[in-house]
Structure 1
Amino acid sequence: MSDTAAHKPAPVTADDLDEAVRLAVDLLRKAPASAWEGKAGSLEWDCWETVEHLSDDLFAYAAQMGPRTPPLAGDVPFHWESRRPGGPANAIHADRSAGSEGLLQVLEASGALLVAMVRTTPPHVRAYHGFGVSDPEGFAAMGIVETLVHTHDLAAGLDLVWSPPADLCARVLARLFPHIPVSPDPWSTLLWATGRADLPDHPRVTSWRWYGTPQP
């Protein structure tokens, strides 16, 4: 076995995504019902809107792989709309009369859709994303990044403590951020790579992206 193969990170899986969503929902269930109107960390959205946005991300990634021939040049054309100026443009909105528990059910359901699509879509299938045409593993990794970093935003707004598994952070960094140097603290590195934290000896990230196209 070559040295490169020996050090190649394990793939990102549907189980990883399922774990990320489960951990996020378990944490968010600790928030009081009165806290959801506050801002989500440094975002301009409130916590309710941020969960809707995260749910919409997970739904949209599942939908991209849904057609018999997934699109390679654009999104599946759902209608996305913002419900207020400056709010997130979503296809997914939760019924506010269902309260925060209903909101988290929407998040769980959207996550489950993406988990199911990652499990059942053959690995050779490709589908469009603005950061690179990707495969099921890539969409799983995207869903995990969205879940981890938006739960960080939500934890700041809801006064909760969020520290996801280091191994999971390391593997999504390796899959989507191959340009980022390996770090002994993958969670801090992921926050830095997504413009949410400082990292010693590195300039603050003000514009960021990931690279979803599978590497040869």
Structure 2
Amino acid sequence: MPTSNAAVTADDVESAVRLAVSVLREAPPDAWDGKAGSLEWDCWETVEHLSDDLFAYAAQLGPEAPPMDGEVPFVWWSRRPGGPANVIHADREAGPDGLLQVLDACGGLLVAMVRTASPDVRAHHVFGAADAEGFAAMGVVETLVHTHDLAEGLGLAWEPPAGLCSRALGRLFPDAPRDTDPWTTLLWATGRAELPGRPRLTSWRWYGEPRP
């Protein structure tokens, strides 16, 4: 399937998060302290980080006049040295079910903001001031690739729909190959895989600005 030029929508965010939550519910309850794939964080921390990403993207779109010179100034903090700095932290006593409720809830916030934001809205992101579709695509990419990290750490199978990957690639990675498998290409574009004739990336970014 070639990379798509179709818009990334709130429905895509909703689909990505629900697919992720569904597969993560299959994880053994005692597996969440293991490392998440190639990340330095454990699986619990990685879900908190993903939840925080989705929350932060929703929050950037929330103000009447979204900031263009930085992020909405919440306090991000880490529970341990080397852990992710988040606004969002799940109550450990709620267990994995509670953790996944946090992920589901933060995904719902981004879905709602993307659905209701004006097409003219723009907000700051370090990879380019983005519109609601850009933040939707960021949420999809974060969800798909971090669920890949989690699936590796938790011993789960995970391969998201090609169309979802293709739309996210088309929106955020204009320089990515357009004639290769979309899921493998998304993993390559985020430094997680090789493509034929293309080594694994050691640094990468996306481009959030609206396309002309």
- Per the shorter chain, which TM-score range? over 0.9
Q: Percent identity?
A: 73
CA offset digits 1:84-130 (Å, max 9, x no partner): 11100000000000000000000000000000000000111000000
Q: Which residue of 2 aligns with 1:193?
A: 189
| Aligned partner of 1:99 among 95, 100, 105 | 95
Structure 2 stretches lacking a partner, 5+ long: none
CA offset digits 1:102-161 (Å, max 9, x no partner): 000000000000000000001110000000000000000000000000000000000000
Residues 40-189 of structure 1 aligned to structure 2 (within 5 Å) = 40-189=36-185
CA RMSD of aligned residues (A): 1.0
Q: How many Å apart are 1:183 and its aligned residue?
A: 2.6
Is the 8 Å Cα contact of residues 17 and 143 (structure 2) preserved in structure 1? Answer: yes
Summarize the Cα distance change of 1:124–1:180 in structure 2 as closer, same or farther, 3 Å threshold. Answer: same
Counterpart residue identity of residue 97, structure 2 = E
Counterpart residue identity of residue 173, structure 1 = L
Q: How many Å apart are 1:8 and its aligned residue?
A: 6.6
1: CA distance, partners of 2:46 / 2:89? 11
What is the TM-score with the length of structure 2 in the denominator? 0.97
1: CA distance, partners of 2:82 / 2:196? 32
Structure 1 stretches lacking a partner, 5+ long: 1-6
Q: Which residue of 2 aligns with 1:4?
A: none
Number of positions where the alignment pairs a residue of Structure 1 with one of Structure 2: 210
| Aligned partner of 1:37 among 27, 33, 36 | 33
SS at match of 1:35: coil
2: CA distance, partners of 1:177 / 1:155? 23
Is the 8 Å Cα contact of residues 183 and 189 (structure 1) preserved in structure 2? Answer: no
Residues 204-215 of structure 1 aligned to structure 2 (within 5 Å) = 204-215=200-211
Segments ≥4 residues shifted beyond 2 Å: none
1:9 and 2:35 correspond: no
